[in-house]
Amino acid sequence: MADLVIRYPSASRRSRLRIDPGGLVRLGSFARLVTRARRFAVVSDRNVARLHAGRALRSLRGAGLTATAIVLAPGERTKGSAQLARLWDRLTELGLDREDAIVALGGGVIGDLAGFAAATYLRGVDWIALPTTLLAQVDSSVGGKTAVDLPAGKNLAGAFHQPVGVLVDPHLLATLPARQRRAGLAEVVKAGMAVDPRLFAWIERHLVALAAGEPDALAGAIERAIRAKARVVRRDEHERRRGGRTALNFGHTLGHAIEASRDYRGPLHGEAVAIGMRVAAALSVRVAGLDPAARARLEAVLDALGLPRRMPPTPLSRLLAAMRQDKKRSASGVRWVLTPRVGHASVPRLISGRLVQAALLEAGACA
Ligand code: NAD
């Protein structure tokens, strides 16, 4: 695929997105293309650094650039305000200035954290996303949302800060554990269910290959999901338009609540989103006119991809409290993104507490 250059109406700059199998070793030339920076902090976590940081650093240095690694602990708990403050300190110790840049080499945790550091350090420096999980390649590296979690909930402090470049190398997925791969597929399904009926139908046709993690099928899913997301976010960069970017939060109201209620030690983000989508589809049948057959299609796809049907037993009161804390709430209560048809998720709406509670109990919450 040729580079996809996303021009954001409100941003002073654009974001160049390249899907390049094996492209990690070409990071240096990509960096020279997308930024004038000559010095880079390459932020990653221990797992990713062990496997892939050496080649990233060599490629940057080979292109005549200066590169230093900053390696953090893996896991969602790294996406916190204390870790962000430590990262700022490391950047100052390195003496990074406003002409320098950050590379986020890792999954969504590293992308969100390093992206937010780039948004805030010296009031903003360039950053390049080099996503290494399927979830980050199909979803979190596109659209410029960066954030850290607060004790009260996920992503509660953050900024929109577009990376100047996104380099997607599908070969990096060869080292990704199967469970993480499946969790990433949940966000591909979400893109189809929320905004792209043709993508959803494509997933149905390639289910066996996707479930097996066949590289060609994954590459096809990555390209289609990125295009679907880019179409939506370039029209509604800051999630303000009714029915625009908010549609991509399908499954996330509950997904985030499950993660927060389990202290980020429970299901993976994509697994929690899968459960959230099942409940959002059930509610869509009840109040948004979704055909039960369409809900069954979603259930069948999630089942075939090995994504969970129910959450681990979680007290209803904790889930409801977490949903109220989520930033997608409004003054009047928790809003749900529902869909009347596959690929047409719409404006978030309030739903009767009784219906929500019944759906949560059915999905594994305990009274
Ligand atoms: P993650 O970053 O924690 O990565 C998952 C695990 O895989 C980690 O242990 C990591 O070390 C390991 N890993 C990463 N790449 C690897 C590779 N190539 N080989 C082997 N191991 C590898 O988790 P994630 O699922 O990528 O991201 C989840 C985060 O993304 C959540 O915090 C979520 O809120 C965020 N997110 C952000 C957006 C956005 O638009 N900004 C969208 C969706 C999700």
Which tens digits make up the pLDDT trace of 132-166? Answer: 999 999 998 888 999 999 888 889 999 999 999 99
Q: Are strands 14-19 and 39-45 parallel, antiparallel or unpaired?
A: unpaired
Instruction: Give me the pLDDT at residue 9, please.
Output: 67
Q: What is the pTM of this model?
A: 0.93
Q: Is the CB of 175 under 6 A from ligand 1?
A: yes
Phi, psi of 211 (to 5 degrees): -60, -35
Nearest to 108 by CA among 253, 256, 247: 256
Task: Give the catalytic positions in this structure.
Answer: 123, 145, 187, 229, 239, 245, 249, 252, 256, 269
- Tokens coding 251: 């499954």
User: pLDDT (tens digit, 9 = 90+) per residue, 246-295?
Assistant: 899 999 999 999 998 988 888 999 999 999 999 999 999 999 999 999 99
Nearest to 87 by CA among 116, 67, 109, 61: 116
User: pLDDT (tens digit, 9 = 90+) per residue, 92-134?
Assistant: 999 999 999 999 999 999 999 999 999 999 999 999 999 999 9
Give the number of C-alpha atoms closer than 13 A to the C-alpha of residue 17, restricted to the C-beta side.
23
User: pLDDT (tens digit, 9 = 90+) per residue, 167-196?
Assistant: 999 999 999 999 999 999 999 999 999 999
Task: Give helix 269-287 / helix 353-362 axis angle, nearest 10°.
Answer: 130
Task: Flag whether pLDDT at 331 surpasses 80.
Answer: no
Phi, psi of 323 (to 5 degrees): -65, -35
Q: Ligand 1 centre and the CA of 45: distance in Å? A: 10
Least confident of 26-40, 318-332, 352-366: 318-332
- For tokens 């681990």, the residue is 312
- For tokens 């490391």, the residue is 90
Protein residue whose Cα sits closest to atom 28 of ligand 1: 108
- What DSSP line would sit under 220-236, residue for residue? HHHHHHHHHHHHHHHH-
Q: Is the CB of 141 under 6 A from ligand 1?
A: no
Nearest to 190 by CA among 283, 108, 286, 302: 302
Q: Is the CB of 50 under 6 A from ligand 1?
A: no
Contact present, 60 and 42 (Cβ < 8 Å): yes
SS3 1: coil
Q: What are the C-alpha distances in Å from 257 to residues 85, 242, 264, 267, 320?
A: 25, 23, 10, 11, 8
Rounded Cα–Cα distance for residues 281 and 290 (Å)? 8
Q: Ligand 1 centre and the CA of 242: distance in Å? A: 28
Rounded Cα–Cα distance for residues 227 and 231 (Å)? 6
Give the containing element (helix H, strand E) for 16: strand 14-19
Q: Ligand 1 centre and the CA of 75: distance in Å? A: 8
Nearest to 27 by CA among 74, 1, 65: 65
User: pLDDT (tens digit, 9 = 90+) per residue, 206-255?
Assistant: 999 999 999 999 999 999 999 999 999 888 777 776 658 889 999 999 99
Protein residue whose Cα sits closest to atom 29 of ligand 1: 108
Q: Ligand 1 centre and the CA of 195: distance in Å? A: 22
Share of the chain above pLDDT 90, in %: 79
Task: Flag whether pLDDT at 324 surpasses 80.
Answer: yes
Give the number of C-alpha atoms closer than 13 A to the C-alpha of residue 10, restricted to the C-beta side.
13
Closest atom, ligand 1, to C-alpha of 142: 40
Q: Is the CB of 174 under 6 A from ligand 1?
A: no
Q: Are strands 365-366 and 314-315 parallel, antiparallel or unpaired?
A: parallel
